[in-house]
C-alpha cells in the first residue's frame, strides 16, 4: 500500500503547478531581478507578478510584501525590525519558537517581554493581552493559528486593543495561510508572516506583509532589495513558485478547507469511537480545518509516531523544529496539560493529497498500534488497574 502522509503542518509537497512555474527560472530565465538588461527585467517581472499573487492571498497591496527565506525570517524581521531599545513586547506562551526565541533574544538584550497565558482551550483572552500592555509597549505578537493544535486566536480583537494604545500588531499566520481566508485589513494587523513550504511551494521562501506606513529596520544588510527592507538577491525560482501556490490556494479556499475539515472530523470521531482514553486538545470549533491534536493516555507520543511510521503512516508529536526535544510541548503545557499527557500526544495534519481511503486505513491501523503500546506501558497498566 502507498504510504500516508499526515504531517502537512510540518511541510507540504510542492504542487506540480508551482514546480512547473519555477522551472524556467532555474535554467533559461536565470537573470538577476536587479539587473536592467532583458534577462534581469524578465526575472523582475516574474517576481512582481508573484508579489501581487501573495498580496492577494492575504488581502494586501503588492508593495507591502517583503520576500524572505521563510516564516522564521519573516517573524524575526517583524520583531527585531519593529522593536526599539527600551520598549516592551507582549506575546503568548504558545507561539512558535520563531517568535519565542526571537523575543527571548530581545529580553537578553534588556527588552521587557511579557508572555500571556492561555486557557485550557489554547485561546488567549484579549483582555489579558490588554492588561499586559504598558505605556512603553512597542509590539504585540500573537499567532493567527497554532501549529500544534490548529487553534485560531482572536487576533482581530487583540489588534483593536493594541491600536487603541498606539501599539503595533504582528501575527504569525504561517499555519493559517491557505487554510482559512485572510484579510489583513479586516484583521487590523500591521505585520503578518507566511511561509512558502506550508502552502505547497518550496522550502526557503516566505513573505512578511508590512502595512503601508509601518517601518521595519532591516536585519540583513547589503543592497537595496525589497524596498530596502531585506537585502540580498531575490530567490526568483522560489518566489515564482510561492506566487503560483498562493494564487491556487486563494482560488481553492471556497472548497478545499471544507473537504479537509470533513476528513479531519471523520478521523476524530473514528478514533474516539475505537480507542479509549483519548482527548482532543484545543478549541473544537475555533481551529483551522486540517489539524487535530490527540492525547493517548499512558503512551509516549514519539513511540506512537515511530510505530505508525512502520505501518506507512507519517504523523508527528508537534512542531517539526522541536522533534527530538526532551521537554514536553510548550504549547500543551501552557494549556495546562501535565507533562506526561503532553508527551502522550499525536498531531495529525491533513492536506491536499489526503483521501477518504487514507482516513479509513488510519482508523483500521491506529487502534491496534495504541493497544500494543499500552500493553507494554507500565504507566497505562498502573492507571488501568
Q: What share of the chain has pLDDT > 90, as a percent? A: 93
Q: Where are the domains of the chain?
A: 4-12+254-384, 16-252
- pLDDT class of 383 with cuts at 50, 70, 90: low
* Ramachandran quadrant class, 220 (left: phi over 0; alpha: psi -120 to 50; beta: rest): beta
118 Cβ partners below 8 Å, 6+ apart? Answer: 92, 93, 94, 124, 125, 334, 335
Q: What is the pLDDT of residue 378?
A: 80
Cα–Cα separations (whole angstroms), residue 198 to 12, 169, 266, 321 = 6, 22, 23, 14
C-alpha 346/C-alpha 362 separation (Å) is 13
Which has the higher per-residue pLDDT, 194 or 383? 194
Q: What is the mean pLDDT of residues 257-284?
A: 97
Q: What share of the chain has pLDDT > 70, as a percent? A: 97
Q: Which of 27, 266, 315, 321 is catalytic?
A: 321
93 Cβ partners below 8 Å, 6+ apart? Answer: 115, 116, 117, 118, 330, 334
DSSP label at 89? E
For residue 88, list its beta bridge partners: 112, 137
Give residue-wise pLDDT tens across range 115-155: 999 999 999 999 999 999 999 999 999 999 999 999 999 99
Q: Is 321 tagged catalytic?
A: yes
Task: State the average pLDDT for the chain.
Answer: 95
C-alpha 317/C-alpha 347 separation (Å) is 5
Which has the higher per-residue pLDDT, 140 or 379? 140
Q: What is the mean pLDDT of residues 312-321?
A: 81
Place of cell 488510519: 362
Q: What is the pLDDT of residue 114?
A: 98
CATH topology of domain 16-252: 3.40.640
Cα–Cα separations (whole angstroms), residue 66 to 40, 51, 70 = 19, 8, 11
- pLDDT class of 384 with cuts at 50, 70, 90: low
Residue 305 has pLDDT above 60, yes or no: yes
- pLDDT class of 85 with cuts at 50, 70, 90: confident
Q: What is the pLDDT of residue 327?
A: 83
- pLDDT class of 382 with cuts at 50, 70, 90: low
- Pairing type for strands 168-172 and 137-141 reads parallel
Contact, 67 vs 232, CB < 8 A?
A: no
Residue 364 has pLDDT above 60, yes or no: yes
Cα–Cα separations (whole angstroms), residue 315 to 250, 353, 366 = 26, 14, 11
C-alpha 134/C-alpha 337 separation (Å) is 30
- pLDDT class of 184 with cuts at 50, 70, 90: very high
Contact, 70 vs 238, CB < 8 A?
A: no
Q: What is the mean pLDDT of residues 308-323?
A: 81
The domain 4-12+254-384 having CATH identifier 3.90.1150.10: the answer here is yes
Amino acid at each position: 500500500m502507498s504510504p500516508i502522509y499526515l504531517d502537512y503542518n510540518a511541510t507540504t509537497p510542492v504542487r506540480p503547478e508551482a514546480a512547473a512555474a519555477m522551472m524556467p527560472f532555474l535554467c533559461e530565465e536565470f537573470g538577476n531581478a536587479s539587473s536592467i538588461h532583458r534577462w534581469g527585467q524578465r526575472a523582475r517581472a516574474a517576481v512582481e507578478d508573484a508579489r501581487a499573487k501573495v498580496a492577494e492571498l492575504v488581502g494586501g497591496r503588492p508593495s507591502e510584501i517583503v520576500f524572505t527565506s521563510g516564516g522564521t525570517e519573516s517573524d524575526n524581521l517583524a520583531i527585531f525590525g519593529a522593536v526599539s531599545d527600551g520598549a516592551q513586547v507582549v506575546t503568548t506562551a504558545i507561539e512558535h519558537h520563531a517568535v519565542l526565541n526571537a523575543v527571548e533574544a530581545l529580553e537578553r538584550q534588556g527588552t521587557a517581554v511579557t508572555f500571556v497565558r492561555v486557557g485550557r482551550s489554547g485561546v488567549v483572552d484579549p483582555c489579558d493581552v490588554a492588561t499586559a500592555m504598558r505605556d512603553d509597549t512597542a509590539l504585540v505578537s500573537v499567532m493567527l493559528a497554532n501549529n500544534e493544535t490548529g487553534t485560531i486566536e482572536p487576533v482581530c480583537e487583540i489588534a483593536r486593543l493594541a491600536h487603541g494604545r498606539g501599539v503595533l500588531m504582528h501575527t504569525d499566520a504561517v499555519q493559517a495561510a491557505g487554510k482559512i481566508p485572510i484579510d489583513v485589513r479586516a484583521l487590523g494587523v500591521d505585520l503578518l508572516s507566511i511561509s512558502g513550504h506550508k502552502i505547497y511551494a518550496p522550502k526557503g521562501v516566505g513573505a512578511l506583509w508590512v502595512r503601508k506606513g509601518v517601518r521595519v529596520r532591516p536585519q540583513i544588510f547589503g543592497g537595496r532589495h525589497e524596498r530596502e527592507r531585506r537585502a540580498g538577491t531575490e530567490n526568483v525560482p522560489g518566489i515564482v513558485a510561492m506566487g503560483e501556490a498562493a494564487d491556487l490556494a486563494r482560488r481553492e479556499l471556497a472548497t478545499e478547507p471544507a473537504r479537509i475539515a470533513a476528513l479531519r472530523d471523520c478521523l476524530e470521531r473514528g478514533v474516539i469511537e475505537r480507542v479509549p482514553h483519548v482527548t482532543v486538545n484545543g478549541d473544537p470549533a475555533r481551529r483551522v480545518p486540517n489539524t487535530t491534536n490527540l492525547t493517548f493516555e499512558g503512551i509516549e507520543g514519539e513511540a506512537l509516531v515511530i510505530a505508525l511510521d512502520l505501518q506507512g503512516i507519517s504523523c508527528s508529536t508537534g512542531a517539526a523544529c522541536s522533534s527530538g526535544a526532551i521537554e514536553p510541548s510548550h504549547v500543551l503545557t501552557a494549556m495546562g496539560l501535565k507533562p506526561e499527557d503532553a508527551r502522550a500526544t499525536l498531531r495529525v495534519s491533513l492536506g491536499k493529497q489526503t483521501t477518504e481511503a487514507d482516513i479509513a486505513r488510519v482508523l483500521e491501523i491506529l487502534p491496534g498500534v495504541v493497544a500494543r503500546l499500552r500493553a507494554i506501558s507500565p504507566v497505562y497498566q498502573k492507571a488501568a488497574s
